[in-house]
């Protein structure tokens, strides 16, 4: 892809096109699930239905426009910044899979900590009213709504995604573009799943201990509070911002037990 071509332009095309394909393709399984009656029992919020065709189309248009107007310019600036920090762009061979996995794990941990505090800050009065409220238009979220957000929020939370790799690159001088691209892919998978509104038996949090997932984040949209983290549950546990969520889960479990006893 890079040989004989402008490295900056290829990087731009690679990042933007892959972002569009991965983000919207990741939403397709949930769009299909919406049309299968037997899967609706896995819908987390049974009473509040917002994943209508009209709402999905509204979100799709907004997100697509946002990608071109706000995210594309940020991606344009990625290559010169990455090169400045010493990131390997087109060199081969690729790094070993073990090294990539370790670095990506670090990026997940850093982004989760950054996201927790940035997200919690966005719930502060004027920040919520003028910025974050747009994302909370959906109290029963669906996959496409993962990046349905105010431009300022896109910049703030997007910083957490890219700052980890850049800081690591600056500190160690050891990071390849393929690792960054893999990390961004997994981050998109996580974001869409968290907003999917479905809790399937195979959902990530059901087999990966400590993972947030849709079951955790859906409560945040429903209650407009608690569960500020993005990938893992530990920050909410450590800082006590999951108490209402825990009480809600206990109440729901008690109601289910009482109903089953009838």
DSSP state letters, 247-258: HHHHHHHHHHHH
How far apart CA 212 and CA 182 sit, in angstroms, is 20
Q: Are residues 236 and 213 in contact, defined by beta-carbon separation less than 8 angstroms?
A: no
- Beta strand spans in 119-257 (E): none
Q: Are residues 248 and 44 in contact, defined by beta-carbon separation less than 8 angstroms?
A: no
**How sure is the predictor about 164, in pLDDT bands with cuts at 50, 70 and 90?**
very high
> What confidence tens digit (pLDDT) does each residue in 181-235 have?
999 999 999 999 999 999 999 999 999 999 999 999 999 999 999 999 999 999 9
pLDDT at 73: 94
DSSP state, 262?
-
Output phi, psi for 42, to 5 deg.
-90, 0
CA 131-136-138 angle, to 5 degrees, is 145
pLDDT over threshold 80, residue 262? no
Average pLDDT in the 8-23 region?
A: 96
pLDDT over 70 percentage in the chain: 100
Identify which of 105, 124, 109, 103 has the alpha carbon closest to the alpha carbon of residue 235.
109
> What confidence tens digit (pLDDT) does each residue in 64-117 have?
999 999 999 999 999 999 999 999 999 989 999 999 999 999 999 999 999 999
Q: Which two tokens stand for residue 97?
A: 């899979």
- Beta strand spans in 106-159 (E): none
CA 157-91-98 angle, to 5 degrees, is 65
pLDDT at 219: 97
Q: How far apart are the first and last CA of the chain?
A: 64
- For 63, other C-beta atoms within 10 Å of its C-beta total 20
């Amino acid at each position: 892809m890079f040989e004989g071509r402008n490295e900056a332009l290829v990087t731009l095309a690679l990042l933007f096109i892959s972002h569009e394909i991965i983000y919207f393709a990741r939403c397709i399984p949930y769009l299909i699930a919406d049309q299968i009656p037997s899967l609706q029992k896995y819908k987390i919020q049974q009473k509040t239905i917002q994943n209508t065709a009209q709402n999905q189309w509204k979100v799709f248009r907004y997100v697509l426009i946002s990608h071109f107007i706000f995210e594309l310019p940020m991606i344009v600036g990625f290559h010169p910044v990455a090169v400045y920090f010493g990131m390997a762009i087109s060199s081969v061979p690729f790094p070993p899979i073990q090294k990539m996995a370790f670095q990506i794990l670090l990026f997940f941990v850093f982004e989760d900590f950054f996201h927790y505090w940035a997200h919690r800050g966005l719930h502060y009065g004027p920040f919520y009213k003028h910025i974050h409220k747009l994302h909370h238009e959906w109290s029963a979220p669906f996959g496409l709504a993962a990046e349905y957000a105010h431009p300022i929020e896109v910049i703030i939370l997007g910083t957490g995604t890219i700052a980890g790799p850049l800081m690591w690159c600056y500190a160690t001088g050891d990071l390849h573009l393929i690792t960054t691209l893999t990390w961004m892919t997994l981050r998109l998978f996580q974001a869409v799943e968290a907003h999917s509104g479905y809790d399937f038996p195979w959902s990530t949090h059901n087999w990966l201990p400590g993972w947030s997932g849709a079951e955790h984040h859906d409560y945040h949209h429903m209650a407009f509070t608690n569960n500020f983290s993005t990938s893992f549950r530990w920050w909410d546990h450590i800082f006590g911002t999951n108490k209402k969520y825990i009480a809600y889960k206990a109440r729901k479990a008690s109601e289910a037990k009482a109903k089953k006893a009838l």
